[in-house]
A and B are shown apart, each in its own frame.
Chain A
Amino acid sequence: MMRLVLVGTSHHHAPVELRERVSLDPDQASALAERLGEAVCLSTCNRTELYVVADDLEDAERRAVDALTELEPEVEQALYRLRDQAAALHLFRVAAGLDSLVPGEGEILGQVRAAHESGTPGQLLDRVFRQALHAGRKVRAQTAIGESPSSVSAAAAALAEQVFGDLAGRSVVLVGAGKISEQAARNLLSRGARIAFVANRTADRGGELAERFGAEAIPLERIGEELAKADVVVSSTSAPGFVLDAPTVERARRGRQLLFIDLAVPRDLDPAIHELDGCYLYDIDDLEAIVAETLAGRRSEAARAEALVAVEAEKYHEWQASLDVVPAIASLRARAEEIRESELRKAEGLLGRLDDGERRAVESITAQIVNKLLHLPTVRMKQAAVSADGVIYADAVRHLFGLGEEDER
């Protein structure tokens, strides 16, 4: 009987300096899966896991451990090993984002899909990955676990949507050309906003970033002039004082509603800007408080998500258990069909006098009798399989109907 085994490590068990040594790019992951037979390798920045299906669990587990320790011997101490139902449940939780560093993060679902596509799954592994992807999609559709932002830059973009709604066509001014403002800009860009200006103290770096975003590079002194065309201002310079004060903003904005995101420490933007009518200023502490709150919300949604994943895991369990009785059911049905056809052949002399319509009716009636007789035993065997009696029932059916005996004779 085919069994599922999982061997892997994740951010729960191994620090990044260990994880990075067993991290595989998609080609390497695909090659490793192929080497292991019926297998899928899921390798992300937070985990490297091998899902293997084999008749011999011990052997499959040993081969998976060897494959990972070949990459880095030290990883053996940080490996977890799960089997069958536990392994499937783990994969469902991973796909739902419940095992992620940030609960509900959306990237993992795509990574599970990619791993499935580049692996070498057979019937069982294919089913478990498809059901995991279904569980992941269901969790995201039916809970709010992935709705709220999980980073400061994503929170800044979500705040802009709270003020302006659809960000398509909204103009952003970046003040400072550091990594953090670039991240915030990318988040705003992904929601449809346009990076209009990049203001920086050094023209080179500002120009480079502006070119990347298709924006205009301007000197810091010109920010005030461009406020009349802006909707969102993201600032993260290393200037010791304010780069924008409230009177400048009030003069320049010409009544426009403006959102200011101040990611700098010390702060770039005069806190008095927030007091202006139609102006909203959020600094790094405000954004971190929002992220902390949304993460708490994600954790509370995680309980609902766990319940959904448990339902999917149970469905998978039922399916896997039914595999124990499927051969017996198939043999039983084949035997019944064989008897039906044989009896029809014996009655050929009588049936020969029937016209085509009558003959079809006899075929149909006998097929229905067989189906109705076998329906309840089939259902009962599948039910028994779920409660671990499947093998006993399957053996009983084989014995009672003499299935396989003719082959032996």
Chain B
Amino acid sequence: MAELLFWPVLLLYGEAAVGYFGEARSPGAAGRAATWGVRLGWLAQTALLGVQAAREDGFPWGTWAGSLNLFVWLVVGAYLIWGCRKPYRLLGLAVMPLAAVLLVVSRAGGGTGVGTRSHYSNLFLVLHVGLVLVAFAGFTLAAALSALYIWQERRLKRREATILRRPAPSLATLDRLAGRTVAFALPALTLGVAVGVARLVRNGERVDPLIVATFATWAVWAAYLVARARGFAGRRAAYLALAGFVLVIVVRLALPAAHFA
């Protein structure tokens, strides 16, 4: 069942990614189709996660591939909060291709099936993995908003004649939303990391590269928030958010094998 649900999710997310490319070229029907792709795909993925949860005796997303599956669901869910509104459709251009690719990676790692088991307790996994993934989904969304900011700012600087025919959210709105998203995500990461560190200390385990990279990610996003509080905003803040997102990708994709072993 879970396997069967994977394909509609991928198909719909893929359709949304292609639709948003079409929207960027010519606003209208492609954007509307993409929006429906996101909505239906997210519902299908919700069903997929539901099946996983029902079949598993415990927290089903404790593996790195499983957590990637949950991460994609959180990212797309967060995107859905604003993404279906017309001016924010182009945000999908940053979010949906990434979601589709990460979903494929999750499947390759066995994260979309059932039958995987973790040796960690459910409460620990829910708190640690859940909070960290919520935070990373928030950072991903903030990075997408920042990418859209940079794109929109470049259009204004280039004085593109099409700027009012293909409207995007204003620079002020994008900047504000990115800041708010990080302000929500950073406390979640802080809590998630604290739970992980507490367990690490109690069990006398060693610090691995992923933990170090996660601390670095925390530091970059904390610096982002502190800088914003001191008036740091606009294009430079957007670039800092993108740098933070590179670390999120490293933590999610490059280093997790040893940590989840």
**Residue of B159, B165, B234 touching A257 (CB-CB under 8 A):** B234
Interfacial residues, chain B to chain A (CB-CB below 8 A) = 27-28, 152, 156-157, 159, 161-165, 167-173, 231, 234-235
Bound: A317/B161 CA distance, A: 42
List chain B residues, Cβ under 8 A from A159: 156, 163-164
List chain B residues, Cβ under 8 A from A253: none
A70 in the interface (beta carbon within 8 A): no
A interface SS class: helix
Annotate A249-282 by CB proximity to B: 1 below 8 A, 0 otherwise. Answer: 0000001010000000000000000100110101
List chain A residues, Cβ under 8 A from B163: 159, 162, 290
Annotate A149-186 by CB proximity to B: 1 below 8 A, 0 otherwise. Answer: 10000010011011111000000000000000000000
Can you give 8 contacting A-B residue pairs, CB < 8 Å? Answer: A149-B164, A159-B164, A162-B152, A163-B171, A164-B172, A274-B159, A278-B234, A286-B161
A293 in the interface (beta carbon within 8 A): yes
A293/B165 in contact, CB under 8 A: yes
CB-nearest residue of chain B to A289? B161
Bound: A155/B172 CA distance, A: 18
A148/B157 in contact, CB under 8 A: no
- For the complex formed, measure the closest distance between the CB of A89 and the CB atoms of chain B, giving whole angstroms: 25
- For the complex formed, measure the closest distance between the CB of A77 and the CB atoms of chain B, giving whole angstroms: 39
A82 in the interface (beta carbon within 8 A): no
List chain A residues, Cβ under 8 A from B171: 162-165, 257
Bound: A255/B167 CA distance, A: 26
List chain A residues, Cβ under 8 A from B152: 162
Bound: A366/B210 CA distance, A: 83
B172/A290 in contact, CB under 8 A: no
Bound: A339/B221 CA distance, A: 85
A280/B169 in contact, CB under 8 A: no
CB-nearest residue of chain B to A170? B172
List chain B residues, Cβ under 8 A from A277: 234-235
A297 in the interface (beta carbon within 8 A): yes
- 18 further A-B contacts with Cβ under 8 Å, apart from A162-B167, A165-B173, A293-B162, are A144-B27, A158-B164, A162-B163, A162-B164, A162-B168, A163-B156, A163-B170, A257-B172, A277-B235, A278-B235, A280-B157, A282-B159, A286-B161, A290-B161, A290-B163, A290-B164, A293-B164, A297-B165
List chain A residues, Cβ under 8 A from B167: 162
List chain B residues, Cβ under 8 A from A286: 159, 161
B165/A148 in contact, CB under 8 A: yes
A292 in the interface (beta carbon within 8 A): yes
Bound: A294/B157 CA distance, A: 19
Bound: A289/B165 CA distance, A: 12
Bound: A162/B151 CA distance, A: 12
List chain B residues, Cβ under 8 A from A278: 234-235
List chain A residues, Cβ under 8 A from B159: 274, 282, 286, 289
**Residue of A163, A164, A255, A294 touching B164 (CB-CB under 8 A):** A294
Known A-B contacts A163-B170, A164-B172, A255-B231; A280 and B156 likewise in contact (beta carbons under 8 Å) = yes
**Residue of B164, B168, B173 touching A148 (CB-CB under 8 A):** B164
Bound: A164/B176 CA distance, A: 11
List chain A residues, Cβ under 8 A from B27: 144
B interface SS class: loop
- For the complex formed, measure the closest distance between the CB of B3 and the CB atoms of chain A, giving whole angstroms: 41
- For the complex formed, measure the closest distance between the CB of A343 and the CB atoms of chain B, giving whole angstroms: 58
List chain B residues, Cβ under 8 A from A148: 164-165
List chain A residues, Cβ under 8 A from B156: 159, 162-163, 280
B170/A274 in contact, CB under 8 A: no
Bound: A282/B165 CA distance, A: 17
List chain B residues, Cβ under 8 A from A289: 159, 161
Known A-B contacts A280-B156, A286-B159; A294 and B170 likewise in contact (beta carbons under 8 Å) = no
B170/A164 in contact, CB under 8 A: yes
Interface centre among B162, B164, B231 (most CB of A within 10 A): B164
CB-nearest residue of chain B to A278? B234
Bound: A158/B166 CA distance, A: 12
B170/A162 in contact, CB under 8 A: yes
Bound: A277/B237 CA distance, A: 13
Bound: A345/B170 CA distance, A: 76
List chain B residues, Cβ under 8 A from A144: 27-28
CB-nearest residue of chain A to B234? A278
- From residue 117 to 168 of chain A, which have CB atoms closer than 8 A to chain B? 144, 148-149, 155, 158-159, 161-165
A165/B172 in contact, CB under 8 A: yes
List chain B residues, Cβ under 8 A from A162: 152, 156, 163-164, 167-168, 170-171
List chain A residues, Cβ under 8 A from B162: 293
- For the complex formed, measure the closest distance between the CB of A66 and the CB atoms of chain B, giving whole angstroms: 46
List chain A residues, Cβ under 8 A from B169: 165
- For the complex formed, measure the closest distance between the CB of B233 and the CB atoms of chain A, giving whole angstroms: 8
Bound: A144/B28 CA distance, A: 9
A294/B231 in contact, CB under 8 A: no
List chain A residues, Cβ under 8 A from B165: 148, 293-294, 297
- For the complex formed, measure the closest distance between the CB of B160 and the CB atoms of chain A, giving whole angstroms: 8
- From residue 266 to 315 of chain A, which have CB atoms closer than 8 A to chain B? 274, 277-278, 280, 282, 286, 289-290, 292-294, 297
List chain B residues, Cβ under 8 A from A282: 159
B172/A163 in contact, CB under 8 A: yes
List chain A residues, Cβ under 8 A from B173: 165
Bound: A292/B171 CA distance, A: 24
Bound: A148/B231 CA distance, A: 33
Bound: A282/B158 CA distance, A: 10
- For the complex formed, measure the closest distance between the CB of A232 and the CB atoms of chain B, giving whole angstroms: 12
B161/A274 in contact, CB under 8 A: no
List chain B residues, Cβ under 8 A from A292: 161
Bound: A112/B231 CA distance, A: 50
Bound: A286/B171 CA distance, A: 19
List chain B residues, Cβ under 8 A from A158: 164
- For the complex formed, measure the closest distance between the CB of A204 and the CB atoms of chain B, giving whole angstroms: 35
